[in-house]
Structure 1
Amino acid sequence: MHILLIGATGRNGTLVLTEALTRNHTITALVRDPTTTSTTLPPHKNLTLLKGSPLSLQDLLSAMQTPTAPDAIIITLNPRRLTDSPFSALDPNTPPALLHDSVSNTLQAIKTLNLPRAPKLVINSMQGAGASSKSLIFPLRTLFNHTNMKHTLDDHNAVDALFRADSNGGDAVGKDVDWVLVRPPMLTEGESLPVKVYDDEGSGVCWMPKITRRSVAGFMVDAVEKDDWNRSAPVITN
């Protein structure tokens, strides 16, 4: 399969890239500057690097035709922060709605190109967004809503809304594509481990779930290859 990867230089994105290449998929990675990615994204015969931004519709249109139309699009974007802590303030250069605007542009590009078959979207979301907020214990829910995490959570919720019918029953913006919103909880380092998959509400998830980044990467590529989770937002844990 051919995959367009948006967010390839991030901590999750590089692992998704490695996993997809290991499975012999071809990848086009849309990156800010291909000349600075040689250490994080080493050359590979199945990898095409393309300079651009998901905030540019024109860049996305180009990426979706280089070298060919994708079968799937994986988005692993995460807002840049001043430190590695998820509770750190956002980098002042980070667009306030990076995730929503990037996904919205991606949907618009798919519509504009009118491909014979729309690519599936697999998006790195987070536990706590959408219906999965019910699976958070109260202290975490409070923390997410009253710290710098709120900005990221609001952005993920805005992405979620793109794939849901509006309050008046109107069609979702993303109604014509298959999609999977992957909702991991606290991320840890380590090897890929068996993944437990829960429903959109995270029913049955333990109080303080965790998952390794490599496990998330493996599941996201699984979601490209399989139709098991199409049009759903599963919470995943180890």
Structure 2
Amino acid sequence: MHFLLLGSTGRTGHHVLSTLLSQNHTAVALVRDPSSPKISPHPNLTIVVGSPLSKSDITKALSAAPSLTPSAAIITLNTVRASDSPFAAQISPPRFMADSVANACEVLGAAGIHRTVVMSTAGVGDSWGNLPWASKAFMTWTNVKYALEDHGIVDGEMRGRGRMEWTLVRAVRLRFDHDKEDGKGKKKTGEVETLGSKGGGMRMSDSVGVEGVARFLVKVAVEGLFVREAVVVRD
């Protein structure tokens, strides 16, 4: 399959890209900085320089690979803060994700492409009620709240697209190591567990490895899973 990727130089997106390429899919990645160390030349990858805030740049990306039309888009964009600290100031514009996703949906829809898989976060929409109280406090009282708000707008944006076959993958706290021990001291395999749209049973200790999320995003896109659904994931 051939994919359009938005966010492929991010902490999750570059794992999505490597997963796709390892499975012999092809991809076109719209990137703002082609010099990023998280993206490098590959025979199955077309790199287009541009911004997801520009519909013309997204349009350019759709036709950048000769004779290939994307079957789906995978979007792993996130807001940007001045540092990884949750208290750091947000430096990306307001509605960055929402406007980018709206642009992508408009361009994709005009091209007859209706499958889109979007990385979201636990706590958005109807999963807020099952979020542990400490996680709610963290998201409410730090600058992470701006990302949560933007993800919430994205959620509404996707649901308002009548013909779009969307999936929203709501990850619990992301973990950037390669493995994790279960309660018995055994290493987990990186497979994710799905908790439905509302995330019933979420715990404060929950996390999910970024590589597992990336593989899940690709699996959902390739196999057509959870169409017009949101799903909370942990491992």
1:155 pairs with one of 143, 150, 153:
150
Match of 1:181 in 2: 168
Match of 2:96 in 1: 98
Deviates more, 1:5-14 or 1:140-149: 140-149
1:54 matched to 2:52? The reply is yes
Alpha-carbon separation, structure 1, partners of 2:12 and 2:199? 21
Deviates more, 1:99-108 or 1:225-234: 225-234
Equivalences for residues 109-188 of structure 1 within 5 A: 109-113=107-111, 115=112, 118-164=113-159, 172=160, 174-188=161-175
Does structure 1 conserve the Cα–Cα contact (< 8 Å) formed by 2:135 and 2:204?
A: no
Does structure 2 conserve the Cα–Cα contact (< 8 Å) formed by 1:54 and 1:102?
A: yes
Alpha-carbon separation, structure 2, partners of 1:154 and 1:201? 17
How many Å apart are 1:146 and its aligned residue? 2.5
> Percent of counterpart pairs with the same letter?
37
Equivalences for residues 12-51 of structure 1 within 5 A: 12-34=12-34, 36-37=35-36, 39-51=37-49
* 1:74-118 deviations in Å (ceiling 9; x for gaps): 111111111123442212xx11111000000011112333x2xx2
1:75–1:86 distance in 2 versus 1, CA, 3 Å:
farther
Query: What is the TM-score of this pair, normalised by structure 2?
Result: 0.90
Alpha-carbon separation, structure 2, partners of 1:134 and 1:227? 28
How many Å apart are 1:228 and its aligned residue? 2.5
How many Å apart are 1:159 and its aligned residue? 0.4
Instruction: State how many pairs are aligned.
Output: 223
1:221 matched to 2:208? The reply is no
Unaligned 5+ segments in structure 2 are 179-188
Runs (4+) of structure 1 moved beyond 3 Å? none
Equivalences for residues 58-73 of structure 1 within 5 A: 58-67=56-65, 68-73=68-73
Does structure 2 conserve the Cα–Cα contact (< 8 Å) formed by 1:72 and 1:224?
A: yes
C-alpha root-mean-square deviation of aligned residues, in Å? Answer: 1.4
Alpha-carbon separation, structure 2, partners of 1:187 and 1:88? 18
1:45–1:59 distance in 2 versus 1, CA, 3 Å:
same
How many Å apart are 1:132 and its aligned residue? 1.0
Alpha-carbon separation, structure 2, partners of 1:130 and 1:89? 24
